[in-house]
Amino acid sequence: MKDVLDNLPADSGESLERLVNSGLSRRDFLKFCTGVAVMLGLPVGMGSKIAEAVTSAKRPPVLWLSAQECTGCTESLLRTNHPTLEKLILELISLDYHETLNAGAGHQAEEARVKSMKENKGKYVLVVDGSIPVKDNGIYCKIGGKTALSLLEEMGSQAAAVIAIGSCSSWGGVPSAAPNPTGASPVNAIFKSKGIKTPVVNIPGCPPNGYNFLSTVLYFVTFKKLPELDDEGRPKFAYGRIIHENCERRPHFDAGRFAVEFGDEGHRKGYCLYKLGCKGPETFNNCPTLLYNDVGSGAWPVGTGHPCFGCSEKGVGFEAPLHTPARLQFITPPLSFPGITEDKAKGATVAGAAVVAGIAGAALGAAAVTGKKLSKKEDEKTERKER
């Protein structure tokens, strides 16, 4: 850790000054950046590169569009505290537009948005929370007289990248639950139908872990590209594994110890919540390893004794009944299942085959020799007779 601090590029000092003045110590900031690097699966030394990027003179512009949402994503983001996120948003990135956090309001706010879009065309990052209604031309959600649909089209087509934060903008979330009266749709679905090519990163969750969002943003700022994504557009560093794989209660599952109802003996002893409908086996997220709110172990749904409800997983959260057991999605780990047919018996060895062949050969040889002897005798006999 010390090496990292010492090896900081000289020119980063100046821009860091601003941060230090704003109350964040240089040391804390570097710690944070290194933490982010580790979480992203980058080498520790990358922490300084991230620090350099986020403190460069020109802060990356970010616009935040809220559609049909509950502000839960913003709220949870505000509760990240190393460092407190409002400082990062104000100091490290240039958050030019955010309906909840805007200093101004009304036309003033809209002006800032348009100005930033014009100035940073093709360079800004658009963050979307909430799903976008498409039914009846999207009249169910309007901002400044414009529908969320048209705003997304306008802002999304000019952005460098879009981060869809929360389940609503990632795959529909709560507003899209049946019967979906507003035709709530996720960002990528709208982009697809409108032919917008801007890359979309999904950070699903209800709410998602703030650090997953933060890390994605910082990765983009640092490397000018998006982190590796899976088929659903989710960053692999956060959504690469199902909750079940890293769950602290997994040993209970493997041993067949289950809580059967809330408050029963198994529940009190912290047994596996599978039978209560835990969706861990079908939900991709890093909740069990990252936890929430920086308060230590157990600070995530399963840790508190409630089954995972699959908030971040399309087709699970808000769709499958709460206490229905998870349906198996993946065979993990694949090697430990025997196939229907496994090769079991020992094969023929050289020695085994040789001895069998030897016996067969010896038997046939002996028979041939005896036969020959006999024919010799026969010949002698016929000769004798002939004489």
Partner 1 sequence: MDIERRDFLKIAAGSSLLLAAGESSALMRPPKSMPPEAVGMFYDSTICIGCKVCQKACKESNKLPAEHTVIGPEMSIPVWDNPIDLSGKTYNIIKCYKSGTAENKNQEENGFAFIQRHCMHCVDPACVSACPVSALRKNPTNGVVTYNKDACIGCRYCQVACPFNIPKMEWDNPFPQIRKCQFCDHRFKEGKFSACCEFCPTGASIFGPAKDLLEEARKRLTLKPGQYYDYPVATVNSKQKQRQKVAAYVNYIYGEKEAGGTQFIMLSGVPFDKLGMPSLSDKSDAALSEGLQHTLYKGMIAPAAVLAGLIFAAYRSTKNDK
Partner 2 sequence: MSEAKPAGGKIVTGPFLFFVALAVIGVIFIIKRYIYGLGAVSNLSDGYPWGIWIAYDVVVGTAFACGGYSLALLVYIMNKGQYHPLVRPALLASAFGYTMAGASIMVDIGRYWQSYNLFLPWYSQVNSVMLEVALCIALYVLVLWIEFSPTFMEWLKAKGLLQTANKLMFIFIALGVLLPTMHQSSLGTLMVISGKKLYPLWQTQFIPLLALISAIGMGYAIVIFESVVSATSLKREIEMPLLSKLSGIIPWIIGIYLIVRFGDLIIRGQLGLAFHGDLKGNFFLLENILFIIPLVILASPAGRNSPRSLFYSAVSLLLAGSLFRFDAFLIGFNPGPGWHYFPSFSETMITVGIVSIEIAAYMVFVKRLPVLPDMGHA
- Closest separation in Å from C-beta 336 to partner 2: 18
With H, G, I as helix, E, B as strand and everything else as coil, classify residue 167. helix
With H, G, I as helix, E, B as strand and everything else as coil, classify residue 193. helix
Contact status: 343 vs partner 2 (CB under 8 A)? yes
- Closest separation in Å from C-beta 334 to partner 2: 19
Amino acid at 114: V
Length, in residues, of the chain: 387
Amino acid at 386: E
Contact status: 373 vs partner 2 (CB under 8 A)? yes
- Closest separation in Å from C-beta 343 to partner 1: 7
Q: Which residues contact 218 (CB under 8 A, 6 or more apart)?
A: 33, 36, 40, 50, 53, 54
CA distance linking residue 236 with residue 282, whole number of Å: 16
Site for partner 1 in 281-340 (CB under 8 A): 281, 320-321, 323-329, 331, 335-340
Q: Please choose, out of 15-23, 199-207, 304-312, 341-349, the segment that lies near partner 1 by the rule CB under 8 A.
A: 341-349
Choose the one of partner 2, partner 1, none that binds residue 260, judging by a C-beta under 5 to 8 angstroms depending on kind. partner 1
Choose the one of partner 2, partner 1, none that binds residue 367, judging by a C-beta under 5 to 8 angstroms depending on kind. partner 2
Q: Please choose, out of 150-158, 181-189, 256-264, 375-383, the segment that lies near partner 1 by the rule CB under 8 A.
A: 256-264
Q: Which of 7, 21, 304, 349 binds partner 2 (CB under 8 A)?
A: 349
Q: Please choose, out of 67-75, 170-178, 215-223, 270-278, the segment that lies near partner 1 by the rule CB under 8 A.
A: 270-278
Instruction: With both helix axes pointing from N to C terminus, report the angle between 26-39 and 46-54 in degrees, rounded to the nearest 10.
Output: 120
**Residue 291, CA atoms < 13 Å, CB-side half-sphere:** 10
Element (H or E) spanning 255, and its range? helix 250-255
Burial class for 130, CB neighbours closer than 10 Å (0-12, 13-18, 19+): buried
Contact status: 256 vs partner 1 (CB under 8 A)? yes
CA distance linking residue 106 with residue 102, whole number of Å: 10
Q: Which of 195, 263, 321, 347 binds partner 2 (CB under 8 A)?
A: 347
Task: Return the closest-CA partner of residue 1 out of 35, 24, 50, 40.
Answer: 35
Contact status: 354 vs partner 1 (CB under 8 A)? no
Count of positions on this chain that bind partner 2 (CB under 8 A): 24
Task: Return the closest-CA partner of residue 243 out of 192, 313, 142.
Answer: 313
For partner 2, which is the closer residue by CB, 181 or 352?
A: 352
Which positions touch partner 2 (CB under 8 A)? Answer: 341-349, 351-356, 359, 367, 370-371, 373-375, 377-378
Which positions touch partner 1 (CB under 8 A)? Answer: 253-256, 258, 260, 272, 274-275, 281, 320-321, 323-329, 331, 335-344, 346-347
